[in-house]
Amino acid sequence: MIFRRLLIANRGEIAVRIIRTCRRLGIECVLAASEADLESTAAKLADRTICIGPSRSSESYLNIAAVVNAAVSARADAVHPGYGFLSENAALARRCREARLVFIGPTEDQLEAIGDKLKARRHALDAGLPVVPGGAIASPEEALARADRIGWPVLIKAVGGGGGRGMKQVHHSSQLAEALELAMAEANTAFGDARLYLERFVASGRHVEVQLLGDGEHIIHLGTRDCSIQRRYQKLLEEAPAPGLPDGLRAAIHQAAVAFGKHLRYRGAGTVEFLVDRMRNEFYFLEMNARIQVEHPVTEEVTGLDIVAEQIAVAQGQPLQLRQQDVAIQGHCVECRINAEDSARDFRPSPGTVTSAIFPAGTDVRVDTHIESGSRVPPFYDSLLAKIIVSGADRREALRNMAAALANCRIEGVHTNLDVHAALMADPTFARGGVDTSFLADFLQGGAHG
């Protein structure tokens, strides 16, 4: 089946990104947009825009019936969910199938297996992957017993989701009951699922992930990414390949990711995430994201591939044209997420109107964005404004090029975190590579970005 028309069930820069690939492939794009996004850049670029509800995401982008009805009314062949919102929702995939629409993503069974973090852990163990010691908890008493058994400190996580929501770090038994209550409420609000599980906290862990592509039969990897620069479990900067990994460890991580994909007979693009213990040179399975990632451009830049195009090809029923030996990693790439937030006020969101937007340009610079001068930044959604993606022959050159690109970026009318990224580029510890997930908190506490 060749898609003639595709509904994009998302907003912001990822909607613009999908439109760009569809244009090249000759596929017509219909945008499903909330009332807040009817005048957005994505709406201007799409061939047609359908309003799917009010500004709040619960009444629009998270409304399965509204999304499917929009796709049916537009006579679309398929639905691309982007990332976030309903991108990993098995119910949406099921409703698409029932409406004779193709869901551009993995199967319903795969979404259900991966979306539940406890199920994903069991699948990882079945596939032979190492997992962080831990497990499900049903009561404070059970949580305390498990924490004592696996060792303190521990990390509380939500079974039904990710992105840092419902996640709490606990260092002492006296803090556990309150942390469980907060995590449960947060998880229930964010995912409609209050279930929690507990893992040992790895103090010097790096967040390393592997991009997979699969067609159900063949599974390949596109190398590693490092996403250890995080604030409150939210990624801020990513790079590919992950720097400073011993060759044997990198190969083992690649092998584990592919083994997990083969175990699931995975279809589409997906990312297997690992926690790498810097002190022991060991790694553990964290989770799999069954969708396109925010950070996918760094992998595209070092492989020369269009991951959205690969997603679409698999969804059309085409087998992967690539084999592992066809994938070559060349150079290094860094991505900085530019958010509308005030770093001087604890990164408070900064909605408003962008009065001026000037982005860097050059042969090694790519900018994925949905804003321009005059764009409105609504208060209802993620604060991501743009991704500055910069390449180099090696990591040192990529960081040098990124510093220059950030110096040539100007966004006015809203506060941004450009100053934090510029300070990171000048930091000698970050420049050496291989920092862990606690680095940014310590860096910010030192006031280096001010």
Residue-level pLDDT at 448: 46
- pTM, to two decimals: 0.94
Q: What percent of the chain has pLDDT over 90?
A: 91
Same domain, 289 and 165: no
pLDDT band at 191 (very low <50, low <70, confident <90, very high): confident
Same domain, 9 and 151: no
356-359 own/partner pairs: CB under 8 Å, 24+ apart: 356/410, 356/411, 356/412, 356/413, 357/410, 357/411, 357/412, 358/408, 358/409, 358/410, 358/411, 359/386, 359/388, 359/408, 359/409
Residue-level pLDDT at 404: 98
- Phi first, then psi: what are they for 418, rounded to 5°? -55, -35
Tokens of 19: 């439109």
408 falls within a domain: yes
Contact 237, 424 (CB under 8 A): yes
H helices, E strands: number in the chain: 15, 23
Same domain, 316 and 438: yes
Residue 6 and residue 378: Cα distance in Å, rounded?
25
Same domain, 234 and 282: yes
Averaged over 198-226, what is the pLDDT?
Answer: 95
Residue 88 and residue 117: Cα distance in Å, rounded?
12
Averaged over 118-131, what is the pLDDT?
Answer: 95
Residue-level pLDDT at 203: 81
Same domain, 262 and 410: yes
The better pLDDT of the pair 445, 76 is held by 76
The total number of structural domains that make up the chain: 3
Q: What is the DSSP letter of 47?
A: S
What letter represents residue 395's amino acid?
R
pLDDT band at 354 (very low <50, low <70, confident <90, very high): very high
Averaged over 290-301, what is the pLDDT?
Answer: 98
Count CA atoms closer than 13 A to 101's CA, side-chain side.
Answer: 28
111 falls within a domain: no
CATH classification at residue 152: 3.30.1490.20
pLDDT 10s digits, 372-430: 999 999 999 999 999 999 999 999 999 999 999 999 999 999 999 999 999 999 999 99
Same domain, 193 and 224: no
Averaged over 176-198, what is the pLDDT?
Answer: 90
Quick one: which of 111, 103, 114, 108 has its CA closest to 315? Answer: 103
- State the distance between the two ends of the chain, measured CA to CA, in whole angstroms: 54
Q: Is 2 exposed, middle or buried (0-12, 13-18, 19+ CB in 10 A)?
A: exposed
Same domain, 388 and 414: yes
Residue-level pLDDT at 190: 77
Flag whether pLDDT at 450 surpasses 80.
no
Q: What is the DSSP letter of 241?
A: S
CATH classification at residue 312: 3.30.470.20
Same domain, 150 and 225: no
Same domain, 292 and 399: yes
* Torsion, CA 184, CA 185, CA 188, CA 193, rounded to 10: 10
Residue-level pLDDT at 446: 83
How many Cβ atoms from other residues are within 10 Å of residue 138's Cβ? 10
What mean pLDDT is reported for the chain? 95
Q: Tokens 């973090």 correspond to what residue?
A: 117
Averaged over 296-319, what is the pLDDT?
Answer: 98
Residue-level pLDDT at 211: 98
267 falls within a domain: yes
Flag whether pLDDT at 279 surpasses 90.
no
Averaged over 77-86, what is the pLDDT?
Answer: 97
Taken in order 121, 230, 244, 305, the sign of the CA dihedral is: positive
Same domain, 91 and 141: no
Spell out the alpha helix ranges (H) of 116-246. Answer: 117-126, 140-150, 176-191
257 falls within a domain: yes
Same domain, 427 and 360: yes
Residue-level pLDDT at 163: 67
Averaged over 188-207, what is the pLDDT?
Answer: 88
Contact 43, 375 (CB under 8 A): no
Domain C-terminal end among 200, 215, 233: 200
What letter represents residue 93's amino acid?
A
Q: Which residues neighbour 251 within 8 Å (Cβ) at sequence distance 6 or greater?
A: none
Contact 378, 358 (CB under 8 A): no
Q: How many Å is the Cα radius of gyration of the chain?
A: 21
Across the beta sheet with 168-170, the strand order is 134-137, 196-200, 154-158, 168-170
The better pLDDT of the pair 202, 366 is held by 366
122 falls within a domain: no
CA distances, 445 to each of 234, 343, 440, 442 (Å): 17, 12, 8, 5
- Phi first, then psi: what are they for 240, rounded to 5°? -140, 140
Flag whether pLDDT at 438 surpasses 70.
yes
Residue 104 and residue 93: Cα distance in Å, rounded?
9
What letter represents residue 171's amino acid?
H
Domain C-terminal end among 155, 173, 200: 200
pLDDT band at 170 (very low <50, low <70, confident <90, very high): very high
166 falls within a domain: yes
Give buried/exposed letters for 330-367 (b at 16+ CB in 10 A, else e). ebbbbbbbbbbbebeeebebbeeebeebebbeeebbbb
Residues with catalytic annotation? 291
CATH classification at residue 34: 3.40.50.20
How distant is the alpha carbon of residue 295 from its chain centre? 6
Taken in order 299, 41, 345, 162, the sign of the CA dihedral is: negative
Domain C-terminal end among 179, 200, 221: 200
Residue 44 and residue 201: Cα distance in Å, rounded?
46
pLDDT band at 139 (very low <50, low <70, confident <90, very high): very high
Residue-level pLDDT at 278: 86
Same domain, 296 and 387: yes
Q: Domain span at residue 433?
A: 205-445
